[in-house]
Structure 1
């Protein structure tokens, strides 16, 4: 489903092999989150979606774990940031801004996708679903 959806939007994206159950469990355990259904089914189909020059439309699970842990640790040293552990980031804009779901107690609230601005700590809804985000980001309808 996700491969077809993305391929119909653009032919520039490449897909990774599906994520293993072990990788999915590691993501959920290390980040203390329950994956939203849309992201779970995407990862079961492909462990990341990449465009030209290795730029990720959707990070691999390995990168998602690494990036989320790093940005969550920033609030320990940068006291002007609101906590970032209330997000599950899965993509970036290439300029330092990140895209992700908002979390409450490790669960995704609505399926809204947010962009977090690294410059001013602003958090803004950019799409109502993962599918809407992928379409908008891939076609340039969403920009930051």
Structure 2
């Protein structure tokens, strides 16, 4: 579904091989919560999405999702500067320091953008599908 969705809408999109289901289970254990269903579905098809310039410029691979979230949640300096990151699961960046995330609450599917300069968290899209289509076609921006 995800590959065909983006292949039809965008030129020069690059897909990595699917994530290993065991690695996704391990990621959930390390992070301490389940991955959102849409993200599991996407990672089952492609473990990251990039463009012609960067292999993970659109959606990070699973290992980077885990690394970035553990860093943001565990860094003592970041805790003094920003509101807690625990309710968020970051999965991509805008290339300018801002990050895209799911909210880990009540099965929400919304995608939020975290502004690294103001620490604001704003809803950007109502689903991963709308986010990917909007971001990849330039209809969404930050």
TM-score (norm 2): 0.93
Counterpart CA distance in 2 for 1:117 and 1:109 is: 23
Query: What is the CA deviation profile of residues 37-63 of structure 1, one whole-angstrom value per residue up to 9, with x for unaligned ones?
Result: 211111111111111211521110011
Q: Partner of 2:34 in structure 1?
A: 34
Q: How many residues align?
A: 140
Corresponding position of 1:139: 137
Structure 1 Cα separation of the partners of residues 2 and 104 of structure 2: 23
* Runs of 4+ that moved beyond 3 A: none
Match of 1:52 in 2: 52
Matched residue, 2:114? 116
CA RMSD of aligned residues (A): 1.3
* Structure 2: tracts of 5 or more residues without a match: none
CA apart distance, 1:141: 1.1
TM-score by length of 1: 0.91
- Matched residues in 1 for 2:42 and 2:126: separation? 17
> What are the within-5 Å matches in structure 2 for residues 1-144 of structure 1?
1-54=1-54, 55-74=56-75, 76-78=76-78, 79-104=80-105, 109-144=107-142
Structure 1 residue 125 displacement after superposition = 0.1
SS at match of 1:52: coil
